[in-house]
């Protein structure tokens, strides 16, 4: 295999990911991507030219040894590849599916300069799934017990990856989760058709087997405060509560029946399984045959609009105030959404929701044009005067971003926050202004990605370990 | 299990030890999940049941006016219920449930020894209690049970407390004996005149005001039309009036905005900004409207539940 020349490797086309057909998958909640077969994975792995100085690793927020793991895949050692990835990434089955690789590792892949980049994410997913399906999630060695206890608040990606590292280092770990299921945004936010909940459950079960204690229905700030945790035997606390405060647009009519925050809509469908109503008791707006508009351009907006399509929406729109080029959503999600029949309306901004008898009926929109770049580097949308028009819609989802849920802030005043409500931490140690308390993930950065949260969780685990060893 | 081979007495002993973890209604107990066991369950009135539930952490923290979110089983929805009482020493909380839709009716079918899958709390801001002077606590139907802890707290703060208990008929007048122990004056009212004052709670309140009583504070909890009507009775006199809102909720921690209401022309999340608000600033019509979002689904769910119950009988 290694006899194939670099030139020939670069001629191999990027292998297609088997997927459900768009007009079938847009009415079911099964996973869209079906995963590489072994043949496809080996062929894709051969495309990697094994650069002597790989740039891909520097594109990865947690620095996975990409060249090495792909080499192991090419050699057929999938379990070895999984172990290699797990040296740096605790949840490859998750990241392989949800990372925006086109902005990270694949964006700097050398093969990508002349051809399409190596499908690093798809290979990561293949390897993680292979391990889980063939041998179960493998248990790494756990060091002898240190006698120290750590409380982790939040069972999302930051909390889970931090728990995974700390338990291996020999500390006792308890993860507190406010909801009744574990996984945070992985279970309430990201839909089943992008990230099957079985995978999250398998990861959590793996952590439980290592000895992590999970407590659901625990709202830290209410059920226990951080001060109480520290007083009751926990030597350190990691705050990983995420970005759990919905932003609304604050336009007239936003409280009409049929206007949802993305958090509510997705929580009803993903966490509470409203798509299986009445087998499951939680209902959600009946989208069948209706017009649904989702406002926003990120992954959450894509998730919401594709979910509404699957719930039977006749017309499912993305309404975004900038243009396609500025949309922050993962490219594959936008691509899949378009294939599934989602209609994209660009350069439109909502002014008012219009209703009848309390029910949403229409939205008043105004056209925008792109002006000078703003602080985020994207061109600022500027209203076009006199361009107001009305559109009929039955349901709206506001997916314009999330802020930090203020429960911890209100109940732990000695932790420093910034103006946006995010916890301020030391970049290197993830320490907050409160002794023994660390923080990471969306509560620090604002709404971001799963991989960044996981990187923060691992960084915090190392810092907490240092703190406890002194 | 491991004890079986050592003889019958040990089987009984091990069963008794494990009984603590066994829930009568759950066939499979997730041993690493805390199950909320019902210690006692009794009907106070037709369709209205009082539960004492083991929830030590919630019992330790809970203050008057706070609520829990409950999920009965793994396919259940999350619903808010006010904590009517708690006992930190025993580690229990008390809730009083009126069976109206599928979930509350399913809950009211549970008994002592059964478990509830998820109970989370205490949620919401506690009631704001201070010395006002003369405080009137008004409960409509199961609202009386919800107002009960705050009535207790008002009395403890030194207020002269008057309790008006509203019920459609005599059997729906709740907690009269309990309130008589705590409050200075108790006035039951019935719509049909079968007991106490014949009329609505609003009329009884107006009667008290008209008789020249100086009233400094009113707490009103019950059906939305009742709370709205009480607000209109007190508005011309400028009497400080507080109500407890009951929107649809999902998470209960301010994460989804499903419970949003308009108070003083601003959007609030009832689960974290409330559930109690200044009655004169609440947009009750919006609350009624938003509560109708799932009426069709609720009907469907209830029909399915009752059909299932009928087929089991």
Q: In this predicted model, what pLDDT tens digit does every residue of A22-58 receive, in sequence order? A: 999 999 999 999 999 999 999 999 999 999 999 999 9
Q: Do the Cβ atoms of B251 and A219 come within 8 Å?
A: no
Percent of residues in chain A assigned helix, strand, coil, to nearest 5: 35, 20, 45
The per-residue pLDDT for B11 is 60
Q: Do the Cβ atoms of B120 and A219 come within 8 Å?
A: yes
The per-residue pLDDT for A61 is 87
Q: Do the Cβ atoms of B120 and A217 come within 8 Å?
A: yes
Q: In chain A, what residues touch B63 (CB-CB under 8 Å)?
A: none
The per-residue pLDDT for B30 is 60
Q: Do the Cβ atoms of A281 and B57 come within 8 Å?
A: no
Q: Does B257 touch chain A (CB under 8 A)?
A: yes
Q: Does B32 touch chain A (CB under 8 A)?
A: yes
Architecture of the domain defined by A6-134: Orthogonal Bundle (1.10)
Q: Does B169 touch chain A (CB under 8 A)?
A: no
Most A CBs within 10 Å: which of B256, B259, B273, B307, as the mutation test of the A interface? B256
HEC letters along A294-345: EECCCHHHHHHHHHHHHCCCCEEEEECCCCHHHCCCCHHHHHHHHHCCCEEE
R_g (Cα) of chain B, nearest Å: 21
Pick the residue from chain B with its C-alpha nearest to A241: B255
The per-residue pLDDT for A91 is 87
Pick the residue from chain A with its C-alpha nearest to B297: A283
CB neighbours of A253 closer than 8 A, spacing ≥ 6? A259, A352, A353, A354, A355, A360
Structural domain spans, chain A: 6-134, 149-244+404-469, 248-400
Q: In chain B, what residues touch A281 (CB-CB under 8 Å)?
A: 75-77, 102-103, 301
Average of per-residue pLDDT across B183-192: 96
Position A235 confidence tier, pLDDT thresholds 50, 70, 90? very high
Min distance A72 CA to chain B CA atoms (Å): 38
Q: Is the fold of A6-134 the same as that of A149-244+404-469?
A: no
Given a cut of 70, whether residue A223 has pLDDT beyond it is yes
Q: Which residue has the tokens 């087998």?
A: A279
E strands within chain B?
A: 36-45, 48-54, 67-71, 79-87, 92-98, 115-116, 118-123, 134-140, 160-167, 185-190, 197-198, 217-221, 240-244, 260-263, 266-269, 276-278
Q: In this predicted model, what pLDDT tens digit does every residue of A24-34 receive, in sequence order? A: 999 999 999 99
Min distance A216 CA to chain B CA atoms (Å): 8
* Beta carbons of A83 and A138 less than 8 angstroms apart: yes
Helix (H) or strand (E) holding A123: helix A120-134
Q: Does B63 touch chain A (CB under 8 A)?
A: no
The per-residue pLDDT for B311 is 85
Q: Do the Cβ atoms of A278 and B300 come within 8 Å?
A: yes
Q: Do the Cβ atoms of B77 and A282 come within 8 Å?
A: yes
Average per-residue pLDDT in chain A? 94
Min distance B298 CA to chain A CA atoms (Å): 8
Pick the residue from chain A with its C-alpha nearest to B268: A255
Average of per-residue pLDDT across A347-365: 97
Which ipTM was obtained for this model?
0.91
The per-residue pLDDT for A1 is 47
HEC letters along A349-361: EEEEEEEECCEEE
Output the CATH code of domain A248-400: 3.50.50.60
* Beta carbons of A365 and A391 less than 8 angstroms apart: yes
Task: List the strands of the sheet with A149-153, edge to edge.
Answer: A213-215, A172-176, A149-153, A236-239, A437-439
Min distance A47 CA to chain B CA atoms (Å): 44
Min distance B162 CA to chain A CA atoms (Å): 31
Structure tokens at A252: 């007239």
Min distance A242 CA to chain B CA atoms (Å): 10
Q: Does B118 touch chain A (CB under 8 A)?
A: yes
The per-residue pLDDT for B13 is 57
Given a cut of 80, whether residue B7 has pLDDT beyond it is no
CA A453 to chain centre: 9
How far is CA B59 from each of CA A111, A465, B89, B128, B156, rounded to the nearest angstrom? 61, 34, 8, 19, 19
Structure tokens at A59: 């594109």
Q: What percent of chain A has pLDDT over 70?
A: 100
Architecture of the domain defined by A149-244+404-469: 3-Layer(bba) Sandwich (3.50)
pTM of the model: 0.92
Q: Do the Cβ atoms of A217 and B294 come within 8 Å?
A: no
């Amino acid at each position: 295999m290694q006899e194939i020349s670099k030139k020939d490797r670069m001629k191999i086309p990027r292998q297609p990911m088997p997927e459900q057909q768009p007009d079938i998958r847009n009415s079911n909640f099964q996973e869209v991507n079906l995963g590489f077969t072994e043949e496809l994975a080996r062929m894709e792995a051969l495309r990697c030219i094994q650069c002597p100085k790989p740039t891909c690793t520097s594109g990865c927020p947690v620095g996975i040894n990409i060249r090495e793991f792909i080499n192991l895949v090419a050699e057929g050692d999938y379990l070895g590849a999984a172990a290699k990835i797990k040296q740096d990434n605790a949840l490859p089955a998750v990241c392989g599916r949800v990372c925006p690789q086109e902005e990270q590792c694949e964006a700097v892949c050398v093969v990508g300069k002349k051809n399409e980049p190596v499908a690093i994410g798809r290979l990561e997913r293949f390897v993680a799934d292979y391990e889980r399906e063939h041998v179960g999630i493998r248990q790494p060695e756990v060091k002898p017990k240190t006698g120290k206890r750590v409380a982790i608040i939040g069972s999302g990606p930051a909390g889970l990856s931090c728990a995974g590292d700390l338990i291996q280092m020999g500390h006792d770990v308890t993860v507190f989760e406010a909801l009744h299921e574990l996984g945070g945004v992985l279970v309430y936010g990201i839909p089943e058709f992008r990230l099957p909940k079985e995978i999250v459950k398998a990861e959590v079960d793996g952590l439980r087997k290592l000895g992590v204690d999970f407590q659901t229905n625990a709202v830290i700030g209410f059920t226990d405060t951080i001060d109480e945790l520290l007083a009751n035997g926990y030597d350190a606390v990691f705050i990983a509560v995420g970005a759990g405060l919905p932003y609304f647009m604050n336009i007239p009519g936003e409280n009409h029946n049929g206007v949802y925050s993305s958090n509510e809509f997705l929580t009803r469908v993903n966490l509470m399984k409203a798509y299986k109503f009445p087998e499951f008791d939680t209902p959600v707006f009946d989208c069948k045959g209706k017009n649904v508009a989702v406002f926003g351009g990120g992954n959450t907006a894509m998730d919401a609009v594709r979910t509404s399509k699957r719930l039977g929406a006749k017309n499912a729109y993305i309404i975004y105030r900038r243009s396609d080029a500025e949309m922050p959503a993962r490219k594959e999600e936008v691509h899949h959404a378009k294939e599934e029949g989602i209609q994209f309306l660009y350069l439109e901004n909502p002014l008012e929701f219009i209703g009848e008898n309390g029910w949403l009926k229409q939205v008043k929109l105004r056209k925008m044009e792109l002006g000078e770049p703003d602080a985020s580097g994207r061109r600022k949308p500027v209203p076009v005067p006199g361009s107001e028009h009305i559109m009929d819609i039955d349901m709206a989802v506001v997916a314009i971003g999330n802020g930090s849920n203020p429960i911890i802030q209100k109940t732990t005043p000695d932790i420093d926050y910034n103006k946006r409500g995010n916890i301020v931490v030391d970049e290197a140690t993830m320490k907050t202004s409160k002794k023994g308390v660390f923080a990471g993930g969306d509560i620090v950065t604002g709404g971001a990605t799963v991989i960044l949260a996981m990187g923060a969780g691992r960084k915090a685990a190392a810092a907490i370990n240092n703190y406890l060893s002194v | 299990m491991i004890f079986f081979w050592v003889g019958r007495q040990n089987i009984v002993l091990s069963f008794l030890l494990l009984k603590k973890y066994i829930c009568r209604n759950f066939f499979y107990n997730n041993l690493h999940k805390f199950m909320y066991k019902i210690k006692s369950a009794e009907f106070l009135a037709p369709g209205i049941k009082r539960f004492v539930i083991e929830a030590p952490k919630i019992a330790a923290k809970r203050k008057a006016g706070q609520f829990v979110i409950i999920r009965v089983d793994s396919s259940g929805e999350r619903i808010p219920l006010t904590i009517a009482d708690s006992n930190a020493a025993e580690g229990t909380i008390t809730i009083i449930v009126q069976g109206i839709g599928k979930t509350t009716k399913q809950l009211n079918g549970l008994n002592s020894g059964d478990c509830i899958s998820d109970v989370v709390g205490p949620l919401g801001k506690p009631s704001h209690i201070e010395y006002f002077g003369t405080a009137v606590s008004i409960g409509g139907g199961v609202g009386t049970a919800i107002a009960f802890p705050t009535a207790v707290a008002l009395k403890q703060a030194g207020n002269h407390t008057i309790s008006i208990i509203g019920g459609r008929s005599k059997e729906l007048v709740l907690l009269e004996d309990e309130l008589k122990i705590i409050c200075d004056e108790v006035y039951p009212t019935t719509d049909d005149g079968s007991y106490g004052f014949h009329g609505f709670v609003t009329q009884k309140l107006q009667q008290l005001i008209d008789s020249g009583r100086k009233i400094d504070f009113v707490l009103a909890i019950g059906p939305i039309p009742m709370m709205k009507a009480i607000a209109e009775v007190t508005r011309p006199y400028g009497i400080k009036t507080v109500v407890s809102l009951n929107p649809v909720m999902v998470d209960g921690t301010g994460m989804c905005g499903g419970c949003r209401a308009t108070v003083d022309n601003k959007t609030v999340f009832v689960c974290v900004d409330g559930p109690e608000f200044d009655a004169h600033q609440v947009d009750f019509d919006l609350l009624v409207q938003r509560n109708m979002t799932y009426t069709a689904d609720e009907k469907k769910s209830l029909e399915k539940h009752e059909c299932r119950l009928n087929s089991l009988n």
